[in-house]
């Protein structure tokens, strides 16, 4: 099992555990830059439960990357605190803090002069792992991200496509089995087809090896797909944090409604599944018409109805036994947008950069 060697190690003082996912909590976090009229991040408070993916999204300059980088102290916190399993990141020794957090960013930054094996083994070597253990870990992770250890471990980054390099970067970030991963627009520079494949592969990998993840993106469709929770930021402040379904169904104000898009009802059909709603009785015990499984999205169910020219389909379990049915009207009723509250705060252009200014 991946990570089994370290799954039951004790947690030394000042060091993150290399095992179970950890809770991340922002407590009234503030980041101010000298000479700026407004804080880059202002009174940011939310929690990311262990094993969940929390997506930070918002307009350019809203503070999402600044918030992400304060977790591993690439950017210093001006006020407030960030805790990992209840311990302040300010009190954790910096090197140990960063070694316990996997970091994946858009330009993945693989070392071009090092083999894939050595790239993945960077942090394990710093932690003093033996060569055999490091090599075995690199092979396990390379296979998990869909590459071939037997032929790819000894190759160099320049021999791979951009999407493949991104996979190697994810493997490197997971090498020491960190409880936390920070992902800063990790798939943003990849073409749409490769990007979708990487998203699917990463979600599959996350189901196998859960981590607590903060994921920054500017793409609302990616946020909806990737996030257990989505935190929308604006001008350094948190506007709304919710599940994708709740965000689409109940945007907090006009700004959120406009940000998620006028087609949020249609987007919601891609999020909700048949096993999350109440079904009508099946049309018969042994349906003869089109059927669909309970773990299917409402979007697919609607597409099937339109393709088959019907207004109802039966829903079956894994043994093809009818467990209910769904009507087209029940699906389309979710598309109509709900009224939202007007945004009480006037829009303002963020004057601060996302990065720490050069000294």
236-291 pLDDT, tens digit per residue, is 999 999 999 999 989 999 999 999 988 888 888 888 888 888 899 988 877 778 88
Q: How far is the C-alpha of 281 from the C-alpha of 326, rounded, in Å?
A: 8
* Average pLDDT value for residue range 135-143: 91
Q: What are phi and psi of 238, to 5 degrees?
A: -80, 125
Structure tokens of 353? 């950069």
**Does residue 108 register a pLDDT over 90?**
no
What percentage of the chain exceeds 70 in pLDDT?
87
Asked whether residue 32 carries a pLDDT value surpassing 90, the answer given is: yes
Closest CA to 214 of 49, 7, 18, 33: 49
Q: Which two tokens stand for residue 229?
A: 């929770």
Query: What order of strands is seen across the sheet that includes strand 79-84?
Result: 41-48, 24-31, 79-84, 87-88
Whether 180 contacts 20, CB under 8 Å: no
Q: What's the pLDDT score for residue 57?
A: 97
Question: Which carries the bigger pLDDT value, residue 329 or residue 10?
Answer: 329
Smallest Cα–Cα separation from 160: which of 181, 146, 175? 146
pTM of the model: 0.78
Q: Are the C-beta atoms of 232 and 240 separated by less than 8 Å?
A: yes
Q: Which of 18-22, 90-94, 126-130 has the highest mean pLDDT?
A: 90-94
Query: What is the per-residue pLDDT for 16?
Result: 53
pLDDT of 5 higher than 70: no
Task: Provide the pairing of β-strand 41-48 with 312-316.
Answer: unpaired
Query: Is the pLDDT assigned to residue 39 strictly greater than 90?
Result: yes
> Is residue 13 scored above 50 in pLDDT?
no
H/E element, 301 = helix 298-308
Residue 6 pLDDT exceeds 70: no
Pairing verdict, β 101-105 and 229-234: unpaired
CB of 21 closer than 8 Å to CB of 27 = no
Residues 152-173 have pLDDT tens digits of: 999 999 999 888 888 898 888 8
Contact status, residue 231 vs residue 238, Cβ threshold 8 Å: yes
Q: Three-class SS of residue 335?
A: coil
> What region does 324 belong to: left with phi over 0, alpha with psi -120 to 50, or beta?
left
Question: Is 356 a residue whose pLDDT tops 50?
Answer: no
Per-residue burial over 161-181, b if 16 or more Cβ lie within 10 Å, else e, is: eebbbbbbbbbbbbbbbbbbb
Q: Please say if the pLDDT value at position 9 is more than 70.
A: no
CA angle in degrees (0–180, nearest 5) for 258-264-270? 150
Cα-based distances in Å from 354 to 67, 91, 124, 140, 349: 9, 24, 30, 35, 13
Binned at pLDDT 50, 70 and 90, residue 336 comes out as: low
Count other C-beta atoms under 10 Å from residue 78's C-beta.
15
Confidence of residue 337 (pLDDT cuts 50, 70, 90): low
Question: Is residue 107 over pLDDT 80?
Answer: no
How far is it, in rounded angstroms, from Cα 178 to Cα 97? 10
- Residue 230, strand partner residues: 55, 242
CA nearest to 98, candidates 130, 129, 132, 75 = 75
What integer best gives the mean pLDDT of the chain?
Answer: 84
Of the candidates 206, 277, 214, the one whose C-alpha atom is nearest the C-alpha of residue 26 is 214
Q: pLDDT (tens digit, 9 = 90+) per residue, 299-326?
A: 889 999 899 889 999 998 877 888 899 9
For the chain, which domains are there? Answer: 24-263 (3.40.50.300), 272-332 (3.10.580.10)
CB of 102 closer than 8 Å to CB of 180: yes
Residue ranges of E strands in the chain? 24-31, 41-48, 53-57, 79-84, 87-88, 101-105, 180-184, 212-216, 229-234, 237-242, 291-293, 312-316, 322-327
């Amino acid at each position: 099992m991946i990570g089994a060697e370290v799954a039951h190690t004790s947690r030394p003082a000042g060091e993150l555990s290399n095992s179970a996912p950890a809770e991340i909590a922002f407590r009234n976090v503030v980041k101010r830059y000298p000479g700026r009229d407004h804080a880059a991040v202002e009174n940011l408070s939310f929690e990311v439960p262990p094993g969940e993916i929390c997506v930070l999204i918002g307009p350019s300059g809203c503070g999402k990357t600044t918030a992400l980088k304060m977790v591993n102290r690439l950017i210093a916190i001006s006020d407030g605190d960030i805790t990992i399993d209840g311990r302040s990141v300010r009190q954790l020794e910096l090197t140990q803090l960063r070694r316990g957090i996997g970091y994946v960013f858009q330009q993945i930054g693989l070392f071009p002069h090092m083999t894939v094996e050595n790239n993945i083994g960077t942090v394990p070597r710093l932690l003093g792992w033996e060569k055999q253990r490091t090599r075995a870990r690199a092979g396990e992770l390379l296979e998990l991200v869909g590459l071939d250890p037997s032929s790819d471990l000894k190759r160099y980054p320049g021999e791979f496509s951009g999407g493949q390099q991104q996979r190697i970067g994810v493997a490197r970030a997971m090498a020491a089995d960190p409880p936390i991963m920070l992902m800063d627009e990790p798939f943003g520079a990849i073409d749409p087809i490769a990007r979708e494949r990487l998203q699917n592969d990463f979600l599959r990998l996350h189901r196998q090896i859960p981590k607590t993840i903060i994921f920054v993106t500017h793409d609302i469709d990616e946020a909806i797909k990737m996030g257990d929770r989505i935190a929308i930021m604006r001008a350094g402040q948190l506007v709304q944090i919710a599940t994708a379904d709740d965000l689409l169904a109940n945007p907090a104000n006009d700004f959120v409604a406009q940000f998620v898009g006028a087609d949020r009802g249609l987007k919601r059909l891609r999020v909700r599944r048949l096993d999350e709603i109440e079904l009508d009785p099946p049309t018969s015990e042994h349906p003869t018409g089109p059927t669909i499984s309970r773990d299917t999205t409402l979007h697919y169910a609607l597409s099937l109805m339109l393709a088959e020219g019907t207004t109802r389909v039966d829903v079956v379990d894994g043994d093809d036994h009818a467990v209910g049915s769904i009507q087209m009207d029940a699906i389309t009723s979710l598309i109509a947008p709900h009224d939202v509250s007007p945004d009480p705060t006037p829009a303002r252009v963020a004057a601060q950069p996302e990065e720490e200014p050069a000294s």
